[in-house]
Amino acid sequence: MTDTDVVDAAPSPLLWGAAAREAAGVRLKGLAADLPDDLTARVLTPDDADRLHAFRLSVVAALTDPDHYRMAGEVGNFVADHLGDKGLTAGIFRDDRLIAYGAIGLPGPGDANRGRDLGLPEDQWPLVAHMSSAMVEAPDRGRGLHHRLIAWRLEVARTLGRPHLLTTVSPRNHVSWGHLAQHGLHARRWLRVGQGLVRFLVHRDVRVEPVLDTSTARLVPLDRLSDHPDLFAHGGRVWARLSGDDAADPTRGTAQRWFALCGRERSGPDR
Ligand SMILES: CC(C)(COP(=O)(O)OP(=O)(O)OC[C@H]1O[C@@H](n2cnc3c(N)ncnc32)[C@H](O)[C@@H]1OP(=O)(O)O)[C@@H](O)C(=O)NCCC(=O)NCCS
């Protein structure tokens, strides 16, 4: 699975409503064709609202760490906003049962826009899509569904002419932000959202490919991230989640350790 073809995205006229849903459905064909045999996928409609609402509640209720996803951090009415003109959702099903979804937000004029939080110039705000949220039911995790749903949303954003992908994610949810980073969405700053929650603001502009200045690279243990208030200064990013597998010793009960690869973006003509 790759999303490298997204890099050359050319701006296209913004699509809305039924046209956007149709375009998203076309992009879903690749994801649907690549799914395990027991699963199917389709773009959800307003008729799926109750089902999506119940699914989200059940996944959130079963989180091992409640900080991994807090609905208090959401803006607006999540379900309604992602089944209509303001956003689109892909659902993955086993028979008639929803087992995963990935939602992309398409903010319009006057809507909350994470481009503003990042400090993008106002003329770029219409080119923003939100990688709003994705959830996979526990028994189906580890089958590549999240990676597929991220790739689908990148394709949809490209098709709809929105090269800026943004979202917020808990720094403790390293599976989630690690996957986003694998698709080029890097943490760019700390952001305080609803009820004082502290989140990473992650971003990718599919038109550019930032390069890590390796002279500034450092591995920060995940539980020490908040000790580094300068993490995002001078073009600093979190580029990847790395495993400290070598340090783990199952015979001594040593837990696997995870690190954030941090460092500045290389700049200048010699990058
Ligand atoms: C976070 C979450 C969405 C991940 O979903 P998932 O479907 O298990 O993720 P994936 O299966 O795509 O990836 C898990 C691993 O399986 C691997 N994998 C297995 N089969 C794969 C395949 N066919 N293709 C790609 N990756 C595959 C991936 O490489 C990945 O390893 P990595 O973490 O080292 O990258 C899921 O744990 C979840 O719903 N959590 C609760 C809600 C939440 O936190 N949502 C995110 C915030 S919005």
Q: What average pLDDT does the segment 177-206 reach?
A: 94
- Mark whether 86 and 181 lie in a shared domain: yes
- Mark whether 27 and 91 lie in a shared domain: yes
Ligand 1, residues at Cβ distance < 6 Å: 1, 59, 63, 68-69, 133-136, 141-147, 173, 175-176, 178-179
- Domain boundary residue among 159, 187, 209? 209
Among protein residues, the one whose CA lies closest to atom 3 of ligand 1: 135
**What's the chain's average pLDDT?**
89
Strands 164-169 and 128-136, bridge-based pairing:
parallel
Among protein residues, the one whose CA lies closest to atom 10 of ligand 1: 144
> What is the band of 181 on the pLDDT scale with cuts at 50, 70, 90?
very high
- Domain boundary residue among 167, 187, 209? 209
Give the tens place of pLDDT for each residue, 205-241: 999 999 999 999 999 999 999 888 889 999 999 999 9
- Mark whether 205 and 169 lie in a shared domain: yes
- Where residue 85 sits, what CATH number does that domain have? 3.40.630.30
C-beta of residue 73 within 8 angstroms of C-beta of residue 60 = no
Whole-number pLDDT of residue 84: 85
- Mark whether 255 and 122 lie in a shared domain: no
Distance CA 174, CA 188 (A): 15
Whole-number pLDDT of residue 253: 59
Whole-number pLDDT of residue 5: 41
Which segment of 8-12, 22-26, 74-78 scores lowest on mean pLDDT? 8-12
- Mark whether 63 and 168 lie in a shared domain: yes
- Mark whether 214 and 186 lie in a shared domain: no
- pLDDT higher than 80, residue 122: yes
Whole-number pLDDT of residue 3: 44
Strands 87-94 and 258-264, bridge-based pairing:
unpaired
Angle at 95 between CA 91 and CA 96, to 5 degrees: 60
Give the tens place of pLDDT for each residue, 139-161: 999 999 999 999 999 999 999 99
Q: What average pLDDT does the segment 168-194 reach?
A: 95
Which uninterrupted H or E stretch holds 88? strand 87-94
Handedness of CA 194, 188, 124, 29 (dihedral sign): negative
User: What separation in Å is there between the alpha carbon of 150 and the centre of ligand 1?
Assistant: 10
- Mark whether 144 and 215 lie in a shared domain: no
> What is the band of 250 on the pLDDT scale with cuts at 50, 70, 90?
low
User: What separation in Å is there between the alpha carbon of 179 and the centre of ligand 1?
Assistant: 7
Whole-number pLDDT of residue 73: 74
Phi and psi at residue 127, in whole multiples of 5°? Answer: -95, 15
> The whole model's pTM is what?
0.91
C-beta of residue 181 within 8 angstroms of C-beta of residue 202 = yes
Q: What average pLDDT does the segment 97-115 reach?
A: 96
Give the tens place of pLDDT for each residue, 55-65: 999 999 999 99
Share of the chain above pLDDT 90, in %: 72
- Domain boundary residue among 209, 226, 260? 209
Distance CA 91, CA 40 (A): 8
Distance CA 266, CA 53 (A): 43
- pLDDT higher than 80, residue 8: no
- Mark whether 24 and 83 lie in a shared domain: yes
- Mark whether 109 and 88 lie in a shared domain: yes
**Per the structure, how many domains does the chain have?**
2
Of 146, 168, 172, best ligand 1 pocket probe by most atoms within 8 Å of the beta carbon = 146
- Mark whether 108 and 239 lie in a shared domain: no
- Mark whether 205 and 215 lie in a shared domain: no
Q: Which domain holds residue 177?
A: 4-209
- Mark whether 220 and 199 lie in a shared domain: no
